[in-house]
């Protein structure tokens, strides 16, 4: 365990003005509180907080962060309290310790729903003071370095949690070294055999080719001397997990991997960065599509560097990163560079990002997340994203993840623009909305009033913000449609029993069913989550036992004369449950129309021909034919599945006509025999839920004779 004076010496290396007395008091207090506690390894427990503090000194963090590390487990694991720490060390440190304690208590690897809610809490804690997560990351790093003493099951659980959450979080914060170490330590636990295999292949490769890193480093240094640029050159083999991930993503064997070596050139100023880039590209052939300039377009966490991949010695691909010393400090410390000290003063690195602005930009897009799984998906998308930079027509830069589309671009500007997008131009040329954007492209979004997001957009976009906004809009649109449909279904159901679907009645049903209000009842009724019978029974339980009267299929309507014949109009095909009216025809009896049928307009001046009709209450036979307009995928077995699906809803297909045949889709008119409006709704809902159905709607041929 590091002695207190050694710890203070580590801090003094970068901050000679450190408050040594504060660190001593925290050290003594932490040791006293943890007295007698042991780690799984058998060491004194206090060795862990001291090691966490030492990790933070490597990042040159302030005294408050170091003291928080020494005390971070006191509130959780000892008799210490928030009030006592506040009294001894001040409010700032007490709040930091309390923040770390709350993060520690989050069970981040639990079920998806709880995990997403905890993720939200984690981000909220970060938004108050980012130093909380810096201490927590150092805490996790030391735990992973000493994980061997834990039972195997706990090792695996901790390693997976680290791989899923803490490693990408460290990367998102710009602390790439920590991300790589956390991933590698987790990889050692989760898949030791794969890691060992990669290391063995590295050893074999070194025997065959010699010390490639030393040779290429010497080559780059020689080019720097020719150019007259003062720079440090470092080379290394990439971490085993990084290589393993690349093998999985590209489905390549180790022998076919190319850029398994990485090199950094660190120079004095920005101008030298571009001189070095030119020298490297003159000496070696650049690999197309592998150049990124994060100096002119920095990442949101402040990262700046030039990345290029070249075919180096013996044709081996190597990645070269070029940056200044100040850029390198930010690249190593990430967002933590904001708190870095040098010679007793807060380091004023012009490239360090303001943590408050960074965390605000990260959390604002998650504030409206309503669905737990959706929120978790958005967070992980944001964490793992690589970036492209595009321009608005006015020249403003928009930063997006790799693979982003014009729809993502539109939503990154404003949700309203995203929702009303109808098209896009990239570099002045009209392109499909699913086009993947590239660095440096200029994007113009075309919008239209009344446009709404399409369900297919969910599979096109890649940003969490766009996915969240599209889902929210679709939910609102569906809800409006379901409420309207629910109103009609409720009206029909209540009228069948001689009652009215008043707001008061529906509010009573909502209370009985445990729902928020009458609108929620209608929305669920319209989406088939509730049946009309369940709503009726919630208010009038006595009706549940009443037998349902079977309606005579020969006389299903009320209001006809005894000798009058009738038939349903072909143009609107009304079904029981819909409001109807009759029109008399000489020699043909009465033709029954839906009350909203456009064909009725021609009879407005002939009131004598109108007959007031309504459907008999009770259960109708499934003999009322309705036409459905279906667009389905042109794939093997799809039509059979659609027919089976309709049959499962107890509906009979009486006719089927193909209207349009395309290489990818068929459009057809299907005639189905149904009982009533509720039966029609069940069939439509089942078809809408089928993934191979692109579109389904009721088909009304107004050109057909009544």
Active site residue ranges: 76-77
Tell me the β-bridge partners of 557.
615
Give CA–CA dist 462/587, Å, rounded: 64
What residues contact 151, with CB distance under 8 A and at least 6 apart?
none
Cα dihedral sign for 457, 462, 464, 466?
Answer: negative
Helices (H), 284-371: 325-333, 355-363
User: Strand 261-267 and strand 317-324: pairing?
Assistant: parallel
The residue behind tokens 């995928």 is 633
Strand ranges (E), 420-568: 421-426, 429-431, 443-447, 557-558, 566-568
Tell me the β-bridge partners of 309.
319
**3-state DSSP helix/strand/coil percent for the chain, to nearest 5?**
50, 15, 30
Helices (H), 146-234: 152-161, 167-172, 176-190, 192-209, 212-227
Secondary structure of 419-441 in HEC code, one letter for each residue:
HCEEEEEECCEEECCCCCCCCCC
195 and 166 in contact (C-beta within 8 Å)?
A: no
395 SS3 class: coil
* DSSP track, 16-30: TT--HHHHHHHHHHH
- Nearest-10 crossing angle of helices 131-145, 112-128: 130
* DSSP track, 370-435: -SHHHHHHHHHHHHH--EEEEE-TT--EEEEETT--HHHHHHHH-HHHHHTEEEEEETTEEE-TTP
Give CA–CA dist 105/103, Å, rounded: 5
CB atoms within 10 A of CB 82: 15
Tell me the β-bridge partners of 277.
none
The edge-to-edge listing of strands for the beta sheet with 610-612 is: 566-568, 589-594, 580-585, 610-612
């Amino acid at each position: 365990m590091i002695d207190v004076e050694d710890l203070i010496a580590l801090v003094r290396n970068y901050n000679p003005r450190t408050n040594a007395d504060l660190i001593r008091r925290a050290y003594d207090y932490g040791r006293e509180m943890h007295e007698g506690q042991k780690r799984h390894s058998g060491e004194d427990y206090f060795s862990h907080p001291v090691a966490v503090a030492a990790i933070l000194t490597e990042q040159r963090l302030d005294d408050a962060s170091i003291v928080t590390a020494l005390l971070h487990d006191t509130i959780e694991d000892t008799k210490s309290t928030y009030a006592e720490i506040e009294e001894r060390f001040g409010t700032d440190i007490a709040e930091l310790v309390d923040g770390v304690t709350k993060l520690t208590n989050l069970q981040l690897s639990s079920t998806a729903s709880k995990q997403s809610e905890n993720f939200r809490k984690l981000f909220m804690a970060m938004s108050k003071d980012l130093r909380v997560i810096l201490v927590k990351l150092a805490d996790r790093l030391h735990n992973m370095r000493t994980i061997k003493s834990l039972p195997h099951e706990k090792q695996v659980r901790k390693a997976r949690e680290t791989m899923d959450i803490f490693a990408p979080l460290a990367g998102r914060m710009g602390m790439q070294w920590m991300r790589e170490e956390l991933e590698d330590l987790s990889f050692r636990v989760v898949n030791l055999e794969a890691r060992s295999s990669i290391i063995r292949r590295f050893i074999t490769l070194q025997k065959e080719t010699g010390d490639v890193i030393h040779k290429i480093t010497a080559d780059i240094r020689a080019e720097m001397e020719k150019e007259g640029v003062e720079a440090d050159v470092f080379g290394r083999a990439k971490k085993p997990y990084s290589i393993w991930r690349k093998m999985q993503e590209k489905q390549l064997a180790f022998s076919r991997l190319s850029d398994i070596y990485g090199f950094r050139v660190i120079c004095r100023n920005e101008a030298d960065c571009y001189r070095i880039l030119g020298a490297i590209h003159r000496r070696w052939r650049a690999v197309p599509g592998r150049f990124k300039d994060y100096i002119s377009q920095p990442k949101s966490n402040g990262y700046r560097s030039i990345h290029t991949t070249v075919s180096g010695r013996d044709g081996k691909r190597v990645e070269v990163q070029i940056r200044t010393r100040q850029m390198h400090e930010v690249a190593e410390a990430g967002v933590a560079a904001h708190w870095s000290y040098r010679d007793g003063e807060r380091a004023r690195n012009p490239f360090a990002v303001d943590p408050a602005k960074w965390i605000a930009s990260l959390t604002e897009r998650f504030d409206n997340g309503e669905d737990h799984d959706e929120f978790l998906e958005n967070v992980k998308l944001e964490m793992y994203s690589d970036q492209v930079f595009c321009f608005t027509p006015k020249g403003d830069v928009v930063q997006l993840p790799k693979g982003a589309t014009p729809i993502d671009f539109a939503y990154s500007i404003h949700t309203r623009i995203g929702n009303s997008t109808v098209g896009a131009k990239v570099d002045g040329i009209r392109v499909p909305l699913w086009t993947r954007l590239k660095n440096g492209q200029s994007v113009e979004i075309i919008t239209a009033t009344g446009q709404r997001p399409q369900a297919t957009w969910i599979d096109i976009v890649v940003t969490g913000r766009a996915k969240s906004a599209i889902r929210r809009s679709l939910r609102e649109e569906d809800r409006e449609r379901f409420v309207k449909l629910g109103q009609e279904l409720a009206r029909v159901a209540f009228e069948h029993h001689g009652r009215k679907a008043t707001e008061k009645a529906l509010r009573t049903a909502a209370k009985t069913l445990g729902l928020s209000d009458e609108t929620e009842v209608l929305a669920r009724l319209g989406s088939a989550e509730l049946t009309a019978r369940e709503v009726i029974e919630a208010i009038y339980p006595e009706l549940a036992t009443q037998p349902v009267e079977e309606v005579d299929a020969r006389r299903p309507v009320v209001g006809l004369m005894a000798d009058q014949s009738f038939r349903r109009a072909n143009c609107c095909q009304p079904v029981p449950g819909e409001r109807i009216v009759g029109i008399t025809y000489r020699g043909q009896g009465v033709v029954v129309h839906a009350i909203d049928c456009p064909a009725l307009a021609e009879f407005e001046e002939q009131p004598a021909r109108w007959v007031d009709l309504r459907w008999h209450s009770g259960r109708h036979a499934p003999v009322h034919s309705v036409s459905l307009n279906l667009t389905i995928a042109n794939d093997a077995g799809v039509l059979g599945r659609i027919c089976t699906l309709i049959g499962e809803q107890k509906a009979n297909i009486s006719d089927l006509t193909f209207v349009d045949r395309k290489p990818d889709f068929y459009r057809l008119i299907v005639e189905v025999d149904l009982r009533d409006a509720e039966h029609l709704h069940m069939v439509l809902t089942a078809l809408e839920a089928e993934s191979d159905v692109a579109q389904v709607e009721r088909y009304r041929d107004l050109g057909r004779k009544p």
